[in-house]
């Protein structure tokens, strides 16, 4: 059973790794408003984490928001929720592996260039897929140790940034209201900022393993929230102080953070340090970031395979997806299939496209998670809830969580922004959703016909 420290380490290990690529893609659109945009998305993260915490302890089974939706609504909505969450796991694999390759470029500069970075990212995914199929177990103690080292490193970089780089006048001058960023760019930046919190569903997978969930889960959630807010704020202010916003010769407003370090923004901060610090800090950031991102790639792979198994057990996907190997007891077909899709995504060599796809799936899954928790409060008020979201209002005698309502409204609005402002993410996202629903429809019709035939044989 996990205490506060274990829950915090597991959750931050997934969420904290995203800063290594999120800072770049968010800055590309939000420009000088990147720090407040990341703070805003941090508040959304808190609301969503609380929703997942209540759902995970009330419904202690795998599947995350898909399990919540199945209990609150029906199998159709449950499938849709799980299917869009699946694309997030796949994107997490792709964007983490691709980013790891770019950070390794510190040691071998060619790894920062396309297509070499994509090739290395593909090799990382294929190697991890093979390891998972064979069934080699990961060391939780090693992961926790690396998370602790990662947090210490991020804190160290943030402190150095406060002391040596952050400049408030520069940060103020970076913002040109209505111009840099434009309103559309700001909306785009807000929607894409969801990529900064990849792995939030980890809380849902750990709720049933928590020791004294009433106390440990809210403490762990708040610890992750405050750590994320502080570090993301300081690191983004450091980056935008070191690489101010300026107008390029073609008239566009840009920052050298995204012009030179889009795929490895924390490395950009390391290089901006004075004296001999870039040499030592760059080495350490490259080594640690690549390691943490490879672990995040593996976490995405595990999440996708576990979710596929859950969906197969609930007859939402054919047995092909959930069949376990005899030796290692893992859903090999799902691991190989979803890893292959991640490989295709890595092959594009476009971190901004990956962020688009993540935003499409994530905010829709978060919205449905909020709606599920609200629906369960109405439909099953007596359902045991070891952890219950605080701050509730009574509506017709039912306790409705304020944070779930606010979180649902904000994530729904954010999803609409994603659909409006991200054309590629919109197209690929809806195609992914449509393909999944077709598979689900055909499979369920097949199961019904099979059941009728079995009943007819039994009657005869």
Half-sphere exposure of 279 (CA within 13 A, CB side): 2
Query: Cβ neighbours of residue 454 under 8 Å, at least 6 residues apart?
Result: none
Give the Å distances, CA to CA, from 256 to 193, 242, 387: 19, 9, 45
Give mean pLDDT, residues 189-207: 75
Residue 4 pLDDT: 77
Res 195 pLDDT > 70: yes
Give mean pLDDT, residues 330-359: 92
151 or 138: which leads in pLDDT: 151
Res 459 pLDDT > 70: no
Give the chain's mean pLDDT.
Answer: 89
Choice among 175-189, 190-204, 415-429 with the minimum mean pLDDT: 190-204
Share of the chain above pLDDT 90, in %: 58
Identify the band that residue 343 occupies on the pLDDT scale cut at 50, 70 and 90: very high
Res 458 pLDDT > 70: no
Domain assignments of the chain as residue spans, ordered by start: 4-459
- The model's pTM is 0.91
Cross-strand partners of 394: 399
Residue 454 pLDDT: 75
Residue 134 pLDDT: 83
Q: Rounded CA gap, 134 and 231, in Å?
A: 37
Res 70 pLDDT > 70: yes
CATH of the domain spanning 4-459 = 1.20.1740.10
Packing angle, helices 183-192 and 34-58, rounded to 10:
40
Residue 1 pLDDT: 64
Residue 205 pLDDT: 59
Give mean pLDDT, residues 152-160: 94
Residue 336 pLDDT: 95
Res 139 pLDDT > 70: no
Tokens of 218: 């809210």
Identify the band that residue 269 occupies on the pLDDT scale cut at 50, 70 and 90: very high
Residue 52 pLDDT: 87
Q: Rounded CA gap, 413 and 415, in Å?
A: 5
178 or 203: which leads in pLDDT: 178
Rounded to a whole number of angstroms, the distance between the first and last alpha carbons of the chain is 51
74-107 pLDDT, tens digit per residue, is: 999 999 999 999 999 999 999 999 999 999 999 9
Query: Cβ neighbours of residue 290 under 8 Å, at least 6 residues apart?
Result: 100, 101, 103, 104
Residue 156 pLDDT: 94
Res 297 pLDDT > 80: yes
Res 31 pLDDT > 90: yes
Residue 65 pLDDT: 86
């Amino acid at each position: 059973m996990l205490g506060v420290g274990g829950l915090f380490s597991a959750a931050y290990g997934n969420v904290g790794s995203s800063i290594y690529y999120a800072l770049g893609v968010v800055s590309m659109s939000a420009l000088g408003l990147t720090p407040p945009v990341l703070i805003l998305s941090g508040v959304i993260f808190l609301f969503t984490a609380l929703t997942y915490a209540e759902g995970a302890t009330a419904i202690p089974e795998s599947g995350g928001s898909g399990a919540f939706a199945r209990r609150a609504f029906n199998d159709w909505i449950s499938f849709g929720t799980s299917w869009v969450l699946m694309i997030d796991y796949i994107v997490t694999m792709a964007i983490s592996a691709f980013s790891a390759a770019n950070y390794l470029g510190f040691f071998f500069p060619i790894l920062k260039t396309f297509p070499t970075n994509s090739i290395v990212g593909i090799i990382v995914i294929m190697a991890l897929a093979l390891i998972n199929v064979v069934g080699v177990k990961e060391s939780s103690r090693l992961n926790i140790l690396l998370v602790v080292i990662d947090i210490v490193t991020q804190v160290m970089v943030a402190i150095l940034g406060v002391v040596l780089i952050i400049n408030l006048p520069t940060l103020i001058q970076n913002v040109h209201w209505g111009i840099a960023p434009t309103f559309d760019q700001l909306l785009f930046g807000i929607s894409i900022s969801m990529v900064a919190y990849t792995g939030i569903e980890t809380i849902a997978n750990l709720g049933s393993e928590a020791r004294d969930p009433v106390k440990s889960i809210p403490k762990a959630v708040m610890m992750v929230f405050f750590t994320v807010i502080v570090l993301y704020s300081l690191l983004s202010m450091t980056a935008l102080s070191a690489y101010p916003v300026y107008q390029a010769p073609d008239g566009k407003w840009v920052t050298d953070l995204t012009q030179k370090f889009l795929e490895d923004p924390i490395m950009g901060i390391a290089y901006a340090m004075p004296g001999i610090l870039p040499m030592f800090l760059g080495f350490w950031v490259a080594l640690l970031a690549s390691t943490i991102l490879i672990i995040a790639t593996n976490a995405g792979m595990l999440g996708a395979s576990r979710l596929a198994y859950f969906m197969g057990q609930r007859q939402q996907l054919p047995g092909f997806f959930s069949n376990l190997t005899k030796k290692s007891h893992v859903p090999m077909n799902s691991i190989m299939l979803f890893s292959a899709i991640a490989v295709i995504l890595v092959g594009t060599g476009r971190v901004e496209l990956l962020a688009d796809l993540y935003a499409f799936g994530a905010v829709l899954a978060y919205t449905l998670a909020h709606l599920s928790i609200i629906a369960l409060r109405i439909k099953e008020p007596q359902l045991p809830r070891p952890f219950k979201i605080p701050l509730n209002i009574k509506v017709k005698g039912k306790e409705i969580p304020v944070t779930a309502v606010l979180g649902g409204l904000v994530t729904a609005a954010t999803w609409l922004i994603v659909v409006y402002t991200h054309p590629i993410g919109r197209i690929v996202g809806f195609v992914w959703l449509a393909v999944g629903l077709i598979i689900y429809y055909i499979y369920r019709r097949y199961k019904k016909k099979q059941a009728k035939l079995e009943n007819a044989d039994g009657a005869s």
